[in-house]
Amino acid sequence: MKHSERGLTLVEILVAIVILGIGLLILAGGSVAVTQNLTGSGLASVASARAQGKLDELRSIGASTNPWCGSANFAGSAAPQTFGKITLSWTINPSSGAERIVRVITAYQLPGGRTRTDTLRGIVGC
């Protein structure tokens, strides 16, 4: 009588489960990295919008007086301002002249504990 073998041995099943487990762990690690990158990108977008808004506000303040840039509010930040997770500070140099260079600095904490700092630079005609 012939004996035909069908199915898988216990060792084959265990090897398949180990390979499947390793693959799932790799996928889970990749999804964590993707989530952190998406969170960081979202914060960068919001920080960029906040910086652009502050630059536009300073341009508006500069143009609101005669002569231009004569307002006491057209000045660098005395202290950083925090909006949610984003901290803004800005400088205006030089303090006189026809063109002023405005730098708006944003700082925010990325997932994983790292802090990122970005600078938006613009020129305001006075």
33 domain-assigned = yes
The number of distinct structural domains making up the chain is: 1
3 domain-assigned = no
Q: What pTM did the predictor assign?
A: 0.75
Residue-wise pLDDT for 76-110, tens only, equals 999 999 999 999 999 999 989 999 999 999 999 99
Q: Which domain holds residue 71?
A: 11-125
Query: Residues 101, 90: contact at Cβ < 8 Å?
Result: no
57 domain-assigned = yes
Query: Residues 120, 50: contact at Cβ < 8 Å?
Result: no
76 domain-assigned = yes
- Encoding tokens for residue 50? 């906040």
Residue-wise pLDDT for 6-65, tens only, equals 788 999 999 999 999 999 999 888 888 888 888 889 999 999 999 999 999 999 999 999
